[in-house]
């Protein structure tokens, strides 16, 4: 199923807000590192793009402006690439090993009395992100350390 770039971008933004950035998840999922890098790029790349064009124009005039604009566009594309990757990832099905882990966590959370959505037969990474967010927000640290 093909998705539009705008849908992937929106899904990536939502996924970035949902995925819990916890130290226990860093070695298990690339999301943590991609989200951290994307957040950094969102803050730093637009000023860097403007600075690149401004410096090139002030030093050499219009002579190197096309190259500076190309570099600025590249800098601006970096956070967009991160959001598109996150959007694509959020819509991927969980692999079998992660699916078993997802179901175990879901079952344990239900036993602990957490209000979680009905377990899906084929969950995607966005459902895993929702489940992990609830786990880290509502459960005590001892429970989450046992599972992660």
From first to last of its 148 residues, the chain has per-residue pLDDT tens of 567 999 999 999 999 999 999 988 999 999 999 999 999 999 999 999 999 999 999 999 999 999 999 999 999 999 999 999 999 999 999 999 999 999 998 998 888 888 888 888 899 999 999 999 998 888 766 566 666 5
Q: How far apart are CA 78 and CA 37, in angstroms?
A: 9
Spatial CA neighbour of 116 closest among 133, 100, 94:
133
pLDDT for the residue numbered 19: 97
The pTM of this model reads: 0.88
Number of Cβ within 10 Å of residue 131's Cβ equals 21
| DSSP string across 72-91 | HHHHHHHHHHHHHHHHHHHT
Contact status, residue 147 vs residue 98, Cβ threshold 8 Å: no
Question: 79-105 in b/e burial notation, b at 16+ Cβ within 10 A?
Answer: bbebbbbbbebbbeebeeeebebbeeb
Spatial CA neighbour of 20 closest among 42, 40, 35:
35
């Amino acid at each position: 199923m093909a998705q539009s770039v705008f849908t992937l971008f929106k899904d990536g933004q939502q996924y970035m807000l949902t995925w819990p950035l916890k130290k226990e998840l860093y070695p298990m999922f690339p999301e943590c590192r991609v989200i951290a890098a994307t957040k950094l790029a969102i803050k730093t790349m637009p000023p860097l793009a403007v600075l690149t064009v401004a410096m090139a124009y002030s030093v050499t005039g219009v002579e190197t402006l096309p190259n500076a604009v190309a570099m600025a566009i590249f800098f601006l594309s970096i956070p967009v690439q991160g959001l598109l990757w996150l959007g694509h990832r959020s819509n991927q099905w969980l692999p079998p090993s992660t699916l078993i882990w997802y179901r175990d966590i879901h079952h344990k959370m239900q036993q602990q009395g957490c209000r979680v959505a009905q377990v899906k037969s084929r969950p995607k990474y966005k459902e895993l992100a929702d489940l992990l967010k609830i786990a880290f927000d509502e459960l005590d640290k001892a429970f989450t350390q046992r599972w992660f």
